Amino acid sequence: MNRIALLLVCLLTIVPRAQAQSTPDEPTLEESLAMLDTGIQQLETRDADAKETIARAASALSAVIEREDLHTPAAYHALGNAYALLDDYGHAVLAYRRGLEINPRDPRLRDSLDFARDQVQISVEPSPASRVRWALTAWRGFIPRIWLWSGFIALFVLAWALLIIRSATRGSRNLRTAAFWCFGLALLPVSALGYEWSINQGRDLIVITQPKVAAMSGPDDSVYDPVYSEPLDAGVEGVLLETREDWARIRLIDGSECWVPRTSYEMVNPA
């Protein structure tokens, strides 16, 4: 019940009731959210039909997101909450991750993702490289990108202004020193943005969405041995490295690699 209560708090700030375009036989966004609200009320009263109602709401939300190209943080937050209420943490993590790709600063999505990750039954510790990447991109949760761009432009313009003033007035060397400091400081925000861009290039993020997936040391479960003592549970995250027929090689957050069936995961950023 504590889990349900936490999710209900998340749902208090759910997607605004915007009417989406749809055919008469397809639920609109408003109808999908109303269906989810009904399921939550049934869950609170321990109605036997609660799970079925929430499952239909999740299916309707997923369909309306794709049909109306409604890829917004709020829509993915609602979809993730629906899956979390069904204890489907694979698809819940996937939905929250997709929302955070759009807005990494959304506090509701971050809190909901942390909660969903806590429910995944596997302990995978981040590798040193993963910890460094996290530290170098931690600003995304607090500083808007526009602030970094504005800071870079302001410092760059100020540096040139100081150099022009010194050249025109033959002023103190302090002006040149200050200009060089401004140039140096201008590199900090643009470097942070450049690093974020570079680590996201070529990184095909995935989430395991099927339960109890065998992680093998090679692309054949009849030939190769499992990499871990336990199968991967739904909700485990990784990076896609390569595919080979029906198998895919992925890297987990601890830096270890394994092969999993291509049907066992979904892309965070589908092509």
Q: What single string gives the DSSP state of each residue in 44-97? A: HTT-TTHHHHHHHHHHHHHHHHHHTT---HHHHHHHHHHHHHTT-HHHHHHHHH
- Chosen CATH of 2-119 out of 3.40.50.2000, 3.30.43.10, 3.90.870.20, 1.25.40.10: 1.25.40.10
The Cα diameter of the chain in Å comes to 83
Question: What is the C-alpha to C-alpha distance for residues 165 and 169, in angstroms, rounded to an integer?
Answer: 6
Q: Which of 3-12, 115-124, 166-175, 192-201 has the lowest mean pLDDT?
A: 3-12
User: How high does pLDDT run on average in the chain?
Assistant: 84
Q: Do 54 and 226 touch, CB atoms closer than 8 A?
A: no
Radius of gyration of the chain from Cα atoms?
24
Answer yes or no: are the C-beta atoms of 145 and 193 closer than 8 Å: yes
Q: Is the pLDDT of residue 219 over 80?
A: yes
Pairing of strands 265-267, 247-252: unpaired
State pTM to two decimals.
0.69
Q: Using the predicted structure, report yes or no on whether residue 40 has a pLDDT greater than 90.
A: yes
Superfamily of domain 202-267, CATH level 4: SH3 Domains (2.30.30.40)
In angstroms, the CA 266 to CA 92 distance is 12
